[in-house]
Structure 1
Amino acid sequence: MQRTAPRLTRILACAAVPVMLVVAGCSSDSGDGGSGSTGSKDKAASSASAAPSPSQTTKTVEPAKFAKLPEACKAIAAATTSSLVPKAKTKNGTPAVSSDLGSRSGCSWNGLDDKGVKGSQYRWLDVSFYRYESDAALGSGQERAQENLAKELAKVEETPGATKVRTTTATGIGDEAKSVAYQLRKTNEDFVYGSIVARTGNVLVLLSYNGAGYAGATTPSDPTIMNGAVKAAKEAVAAVAAANK
């Protein structure tokens, strides 16, 4: 009984303090505090061995090649835009709306060249740039651009109402490129389209050039439109590299 009293006193004292303190300071009353300490160490060692090493959780990706985009309305030479769209409403182009010009930008030109009794020629040219950063979870900027090239190409090929769709590899334009030629009937006229989907490093360049003849004017030929699209696309791709020098 004399040995029990001090033990009872300690139990009552522990009961009077917060639970977290009881666990920390009073749980070893049974006399086997050493085994409790060893258990904690075992748990810590188990947790440490289960935790993945930095090499298991960190994925190294290739750095993005380009950090900037060119100014879209200046990416294609003025002489080229004047040739492809002779009577553009806005000679210097109309910039696309963008909330982040470092990641996406664009510009377009359109106009109607009135040839009097010979009818009129309508032309439209537009270019868009998309830049992708490297991300450990999503892949390198180059890989992301490649993935989106395939998606954008599919969108062009699936243009509603498009006929005579022909897709070919476009050589000499960036790291990889596809050209899509097709025709589309709208405003009671036959429009001829030439679209280029190209990738240079981590940047995707989308270019479309189209035209139609109005009031009896001759419809532009497929080669005329596609050659114009290819020329403009080459300049747009070159502008990306120039912007990052």
Structure 2
Amino acid sequence: MHRSAPRLSRILACAAVPVMLVAVGCSSDSGSGAEKNAGSSSSATASAEPTKPAVEPAKYTDLPDACTSISKKTVKDLVPEAKKKGGTAGSSSDLSVRASCSWNGLDDKGVKGSLYHWLSVGFTRFDSDETLGSGATRATEGYTKQIAKEKATEGAQKTAAAPAPGIGDEATVITYSLNQTGEDFAYATVVARTGNVVVSLTYNGTGYAGAKAPSAADILKGAQKAAKEAVGEVDATAASAAAEATPSAGDAKKGDKADEGADKDAEKSGSEATPKS
């Protein structure tokens, strides 16, 4: 009886060992599953985070030559006897971002007096920026600021603003009169936006020594005509650049022929280098 007690204790101890192993194994599996679930949750959270949309690329990457953006015929019609037929270019540190040109002239009518006209055009291009926004958005802001600036011209009288349809993506014309050198000048400024470029064109005129001054209607008509040409040149410049960057079919054929000629020369050179048997 006394000898069987230790034996019974050993049997119970051995029986308890598998139970402990099972418990440890379950505990280990449970921890692994929790870690996997935590990892899956982190991945789901990371993938759920919204990605910031990329800023739309600017439509135009260059500007036209301001002094050739208005046809010679239009310049001649609007500024007869211009001092410089080719215009006077404005200063700019980067002509792909900002460019301008102006013309002025006094048309002497003899005893009937003289007519003076002045025409100017300016281009400002806005690039897309991750922080500031797309070029079009920035140009829209620049367009709005330029209109406000024109409306606030010092000394202007009878200022009026109205939409100018058919010129770029959006356009506004501001008209007013301004007394200078003792004469009343009729002014018309067209501010237009096309893509990421703002175009500002101003046309004015007056009469001296008894000459009848140009009418406000004629000044407005001339300004709108010139503005359409200037805005159109922005598109034309972009199209020209794209055409130059794309090889024509004729150039491709020339390239193919050149490659064929090079292949033949290589074959000929190889056959001459091979010794005859």
Measured against the shorter chain, the TM-score band is 0.7 to 0.9
Identity among equivalent pairs (%): 55
* TM-score, with structure 1 as normaliser: 0.77
Q: Give the whole-Å Cα distance in 2 for the aligned partners of 1:108 and 1:74.
A: 11
Per-residue CA shift, 1:208-232, capped at 9, x if unaligned? 0000000111121111000000000
- 1:31 is aligned to none
Residues 1:63 and 2:57 aligned together: yes
Aligned 8 A contact 1:58 1:136 in 2? no
Q: Give the whole-Å Cα distance in 2 for the aligned partners of 1:57 and 1:182.
A: 49
- 1:114 is aligned to 108
The residue identity in structure 2 corresponding to 1:235 is E
Match for 2:143 among 149, 161, 168? 149
Runs of 4+ in 1 over 4 A off after TM superposition: 55-59
Q: Give the whole-Å Cα distance in 1 for the aligned partners of 2:51 and 2:120.
A: 43
Gaps of 5+ in 2: 1-41, 240-277
The residue identity in structure 2 corresponding to 1:154 is A
SS of the residue corresponding to residue 222 of structure 2 reads helix
Gaps of 5+ in 1: 1-47
List aligned pairs for 1:163-178, cutoff 5 A: 163-178=157-172
Residues 1:89 and 2:89 aligned together: no
What is the RMSD computed on CA atoms of the aligned residues?
1.9
Q: What number of residue pairs does the alignment pair up? A: 197
SS of the residue corresponding to residue 244 of structure 1 reads helix
- 2:235 is aligned to 241
Aligned 8 A contact 1:149 1:198 in 2? yes
List aligned pairs for 1:1-245, cutoff 5 A: 58-245=52-239
Q: Give the whole-Å Cα distance in 2 for the aligned partners of 1:77 and 1:216.
A: 31
Displacement, 1:57? 7.7
Q: Give the whole-Å Cα distance in 2 for the aligned partners of 1:235 and 1:169.
A: 17
Per-residue CA shift, 1:37-82, capped at 9, x if unaligned? xxxxxxxxxxx99xx99x7685521110111100110000000001
SS of the residue corresponding to residue 82 of structure 1 reads helix
Per-residue CA shift, 1:147-199, capped at 9, x if unaligned? 01110000100000000111000000000000001000010000000100000
Q: Give the whole-Å Cα distance in 2 for the aligned partners of 1:154 and 1:235.
A: 23
**Which structure is richer in relative contact order (CA contacts within 8 A, separation 6 or more)?**
1
Q: Which has the higher helix share?
A: 2
Q: Give the whole-Å Cα distance in 2 for the aligned partners of 1:96 and 1:59.
A: 38
Q: Give the whole-Å Cα distance in 2 for the aligned partners of 1:76 and 1:186.
A: 26
Which one has the largest radius of gyration?
A: 2
